[in-house]
């Protein structure tokens, strides 16, 4: 299965993850010769920039399930919303390609749970980083633990720290800083119970980012000798030594972070609910080793920080570019919350337009478009005029959030993002506070290019400029709690 996607590696890590479904489908389809291979271009697909656009064009041309040639292999890509949602299948009858895709997505999730195995990446992480662990016992155990820690009922306990950090973020805006501090601080609080704000310039964050970068640089499978000849990992080659050093550096980094929590507990400092202490308390029950625990917690920053900050950037961009839609959310905020207190999580059920704003910005510009998130969330059959920003897409006839429309920006199936409940709360509270606090506007002298974003696993928008006009009197005092409502 690995070789199915080898020549596409330079597309980026996100693309690798997203192509997994296709790779699995290939294997599955090959074992069922009675299946028709879905239509697709006759020319093969090598490494190309902006693969999500190519996929999107193919999906318009060939339909929501299409195949591409990759060397002498065929990769099947699922690029439509409805093929994931609909479930018209009965085992044992002849299947159309689209039905086959649905069959696999819905009923054979295990086939899609695997990851391509890069020997060098696995050496760096000691096969302990969930994002790249293949399907199997450890993957299931790690996911079970994270699910328990991040599921909606547990995620609720992180709401106070999310609210506090969102308030700090609005203050940051007032003082001209950016959303990365929010994302970094929340993930450090959720993971390690840190109460002090985390900056991207903090040495531990710089070290974590460097570790993630080393991994991303190594991932292109087939780049290193150990990937071409895995037995070489047992020889004292410079490459092997370097990969082992990287692993040791990650191990030291993650253990230092755990030591810091231990020290704070020892000093009787207040440590709010967090994943690390929960794992320590239940380590035997979960059956995880010390190294596994260090990696489970250590890899959360890489998975949850940049992603959240990027989604927040697109939400801000949308607030500036779609003033009529922002004004609708603001009108609801004024009616429900007023201007004398801050919106909170308790208001969410009465603020469907704010939730819709967060959902629509994530749909409009998915954080990880490289795979099929772009095509799926821009499927014109489900989201007509997909480039238009329309809150009503997410609302039912009563103005409430539709229960039947899914957000696939967090992936699908057995590898769906376990941090989704925490991330969705972050997006809601930041959208609420941002729209409540400011009229966000585009600076006409510096127009925003909405397609200017990086081409990697995470599509970071290129720097863009917006103006924040406070719309609340005493905004700073309210945020700092100096001015209590009557
Ligand atoms: C807006 C924010 C976020 C977005 C858009 C996002 C998106 C994703 C996506 C697309 C995947 C890959 C899913 C797949 O392979 O199908 C993923 C995996 C993952 N995410 Fe998130 N994520 C976000 C926030 C978070 C947060 C806050 C956390 C932790 C608290 C987190 C933890 C993880 C982990 C551990 C994985 C690896 C799961 C696995 O490989 O089994 N994410 N995320």
Most confident of 43-57, 73-87, 330-344, 465-479: 330-344
pLDDT at residue 12 is higher than 50? no
Neighbour tally for 389: CB within 10 Å: 21
- Number of residues in the chain: 486
pLDDT score recorded for residue 84: 65
Residues 200, 255, single domain; the answer is yes
Mean pLDDT of 36-41: 81
For 105, the domain range is 2-116
Is pLDDT at 471 greater than 90 in this prediction? yes
Task: Look at residue 339 and tell me if it is in a domain.
Answer: yes
420 inside domain: yes
Tens-digit pLDDT profile for residues 282-307: 999 999 999 999 999 999 998 999 89
Identify the DSSP state of 441.
E
pLDDT greater than 60 at residue 432: yes
Q: How confident is the model at residue 24 (pLDDT cuts 50, 70, 90)?
A: very low
pLDDT digits over 213-237, tens only?
Answer: 888 787 665 567 888 888 999 999 9
Same domain, 315 and 340: yes
Torsion sign (Cα): 407, 411, 415, 417: negative
Final residue before a domain boundary, out of 116, 149, 165: 116
pLDDT above 80 for 447: yes
299 and 445 in a single domain? The answer is yes
Residues 269 and 363 in one domain: yes
d(CA 27, CA 6): 15
Do residues 208 and 92 both lie within one domain?
Answer: no
- Residue 389 counted as domain residue: no
Does ligand 1 lie within 6 Å of residue 17's CB atom? yes
Structure tokens at 224: 């290193």
Q: What is the pLDDT of residues 120-130, one digit of tens each?
A: 888 999 999 99
pLDDT of residue 35: 57
Q: Which residue has the higher pLDDT, 168 or 102?
A: 168
Q: What are phi and psi of 283, to 5 degrees?
A: -60, -40
Beta bridge partners of 395: 401
Quickly count: other Cβ atoms within 10 Å of residue 407's Cβ: 17
Measured from the Cα of 300, ligand 1's closest atom is 29
CA of 51 to the centre of ligand 1 (A): 20
Give the Å distance between the CA of 419 and the centre of ligand 1.
Answer: 6
| Test site for ligand 1: of 159, 301, 417, most ligand atoms within 8 A of the Cβ | 417
Residue 486 is predicted with a pLDDT of 40
- Give per-residue pLDDT as tens, 351-406: 999 999 999 999 999 998 876 788 889 988 889 999 999 999 999 999 999 998 88
- Residue 486 domain-assigned? no
C-alpha 397 – ligand 1 centre gap (Å): 32
- Which percentage of the chain shows pLDDT scores above 70? 82
Pocket test for ligand 1, best of 144, 156, 304 (most atoms within 8 A of CB): 304
> Closest Cα to residue 123, out of 220, 226, 213?
226
Q: What is the mean pLDDT of residues 196-217?
A: 85
Ligand 1 atom index nearest CA of 143: 41
Regarding the beta carbon of 307 and ligand 1, being less than 6 Å apart is answered yes
**Is 143's C-beta closer than 6 angstroms to any atom of ligand 1?**
yes
Which of 87, 116, 145 is the last residue before a domain boundary?
A: 116
Q: Can you give the C-alpha Rg of the chain in angstroms?
A: 23
Rounded to an integer, the average pLDDT of 191-198 is 90
Q: Determine the distance separating the centroid of ligand 1 and the alpha carbon of 184, expressed in angstroms.
A: 15
Number of domains observed in the structure of the chain:
2
pLDDT reported for residue 323: 98
Average pLDDT over residues 237-253: 94
On whether residue 383 sits in a domain, the answer given is: no
The per-residue pLDDT for 255 is 96
The pLDDT of residue 43 is above 90:
no
Q: Both 82 and 146 in a single domain?
A: no
Q: 329 vs 97, 308, 357, 476, CA distance in Å?
A: 41, 21, 7, 21
* Digit-coded pLDDT (tens) for 142-191: 999 999 999 999 999 999 999 999 998 888 887 666 778 899 999 999 99
Q: Say yes or no: 146 and 43 in one domain.
A: no
CA of 307 to the centre of ligand 1 (A): 8
Last residue of a domain, one of 88, 116, 144: 116
pLDDT band at 241 (very low <50, low <70, confident <90, very high): very high
Residues 311 and 457 in one domain: yes
CATH of the domain at 148: 1.10.630.10
> Is any ligand 1 atom within 6 A of the Cβ of residue 483?
no
Q: How far apart are CA 176 and CA 193, in angstroms?
A: 27
For ligand 1, whether the C-beta of 410 sits within 6 Å is yes
- 182 in the same domain as 73: no
Atom number of ligand 1 nearest to Cα 139: 41
Higher-scoring residue by pLDDT: 261, 117: 261
pLDDT band at 338 (very low <50, low <70, confident <90, very high): very high
Ligand 1 centroid to residue 95 C-alpha, Å? 32
Task: State the Cα torsion 177-182-185-190 to the nearest 10°.
Answer: 180
Q: How confident is the model at residue 87 (pLDDT cuts 50, 70, 90)?
A: very low
409 touches ligand 1 (CB under 6 Å): yes
Residue 397 lies in a domain: no
Q: What is the pLDDT of residue 229?
A: 86
Ligand 1 atom with minimal separation from the 187 CA = 30
DSSP code per residue over 308-364: HHHHHHHHHHHHHH-HHHHHHHHHHHHHHT-SSS---GGGGGG-HHHHHHHHHHHHH
Residue 24 lies in a domain: yes
Q: How many angstroms does the Cα of residue 232 sit away from the middle of ligand 1? A: 32
Confidence of residue 31 (pLDDT cuts 50, 70, 90): very low
Check if 422 has its Cβ closer than 6 Å to any atom of ligand 1. Answer: yes
| Alpha carbon of 418 to ligand 1 centroid (Å) | 6
Can you give the pLDDT at residue 147? 93
> Annotated binding site for heme, which residues?
417
Nearest CA to ligand 1 atom 21: 417
The pLDDT of residue 451 is above 80: yes
Going from the Cα of 292 to the center of ligand 1, the distance in angstroms, rounded, reads: 18
Return the residue whose CA atom lies nearest to atom 41 of ligand 1.
415
| Mean per-residue pLDDT, 271-292 | 95
Q: How many CB atoms lie within 10 A of CB 137?
A: 7
Of residues 190 and 413, more confidence is placed in 190
Cβ of residue 311 lying under 6 Å from some atom of ligand 1 = yes
62 pLDDT exceeds 80?
yes
User: Under DSSP, is residue 412 helix (H, G, I), strand (E, B) or coil?
Assistant: coil
pLDDT at residue number 90: 39
Q: Compute the average pLDDT of residues 56-84.
A: 78
Residues 46 and 91 in one domain: yes
Q: Are residues 458 and 333 located together in one domain of the fold?
A: yes
Question: Nearest-5° angle of CA 327, CA 331, CA 337?
Answer: 135
Instruction: Please give the Cα distance from 360 to 296 (Å, whole number).
Output: 31
Would you state the structure tokens that stand for residue 320, as one six-digit string? Answer: 């500036």
- Residues ≥6 apart with Cβ < 8 Å to 158: 186, 189, 190, 273, 422, 425
Mean pLDDT of the residues in the chain: 83
Do both 96 and 156 map to the same domain? no
pLDDT the model gives residue 176: 66
Whether residue 379 is contained in a domain is answered as: no
Could you tell me which residues are annotated as the binding site? Answer: 417
Indicate which atom in ligand 1 lies nearest the CA of residue 133: 40
């Amino acid at each position: 299965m690995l070789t199915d996607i080898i020549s596409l590696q330079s597309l980026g890590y996100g693309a690798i993850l997203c192509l997994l479904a296709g790779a699995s489908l290939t294997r599955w389809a090959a074992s069922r010769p009675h299946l028709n291979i879905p239509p697709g271009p006759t020319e093969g697909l090598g490494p190309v920039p902006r693969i999500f656009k190519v996929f999107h064009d193919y999906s318009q041309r060939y339909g929501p399930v299409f195949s591409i040639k990759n060397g002498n292999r065929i990769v099947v890509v699922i690029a439509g919303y409805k093929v994931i949602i609909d479930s018209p299948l009965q085992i044992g009858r002849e299947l159309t390609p689209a039905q086959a895709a649905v069959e696999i997505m819905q009923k054979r999730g295990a086939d899609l749970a695997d990851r391509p195995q890069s020997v060098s990446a696995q050496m760096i992480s000691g096969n302990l980083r969930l994002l790249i662990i293949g399907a199997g016992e450890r993957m299931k155990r790690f996911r079970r633990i994270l699910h328990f820690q991040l599921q909606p009922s547990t995620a609720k306990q992180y709401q106070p720290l999310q609210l506090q950090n969102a308030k700090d973020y609005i203050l940051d805006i007032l003082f001209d800083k950016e959303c990365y501090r929010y994302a970094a601080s929340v993930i450090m609080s959720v993971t390690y119970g840190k109460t002090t704000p985390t900056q991207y310039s903090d040495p531990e964050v710089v070290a974590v980012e460097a570790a993630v970068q080393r991994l991303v640089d190594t991932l292109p499978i087939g780049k290193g000798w150990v990937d071409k000849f895995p037995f070489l990992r047992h020889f004292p080659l410079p490459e092997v030594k370097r990969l082992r050093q990287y692993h040791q550096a990650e191990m030291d980094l993650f253990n230092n972070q755990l030591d810091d929590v231990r020290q704070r507990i020892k000093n009787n400092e207040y440590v709010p609910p967090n994943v690390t202490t929960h794992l320590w308390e239940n380590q035997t029950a979960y059956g995880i080793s010390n190294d596994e625990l260090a990696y489970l917690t250590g890899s959360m920053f890489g998975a949850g920080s940049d992603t959240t900050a990027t989604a927040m950037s697109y939400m801000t961009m949308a607030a500036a570019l779609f003033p009529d839609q922002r004004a609708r959310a603001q009108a609801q905020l004024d009616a429900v919350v007023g201007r004398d207190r801050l919106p909170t999580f308790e208001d969410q059920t009465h603020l469907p337009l704010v939730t819709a704003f967060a959902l629509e910005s994530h749909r409009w510009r998915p954080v990880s478009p490289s795979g099929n998130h772009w095509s799926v969330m821009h499927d014109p059959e489900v989201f007509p005029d997909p480039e238009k920003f329309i809150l009503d897409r997410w609302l039912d006839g009563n103005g409430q959030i539709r229960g039947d429309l899914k957000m696939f920006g967090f992936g699908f199936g057995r590898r769906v993002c376990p941090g989704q409940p925490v991330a969705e709360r972050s997006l809601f509270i930041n959208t609420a506070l941002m729209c409540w606090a400011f009229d966000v506007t585009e600076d006409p002298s510096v127009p925003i290019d909405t397609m200017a974003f990086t081409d990697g696993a995470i599509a970071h928008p290129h720097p863009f400029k917006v103006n924040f006009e406070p719309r609340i009197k005493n905004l700073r005092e309210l945020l700092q709690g100096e001015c209590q409502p009557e």
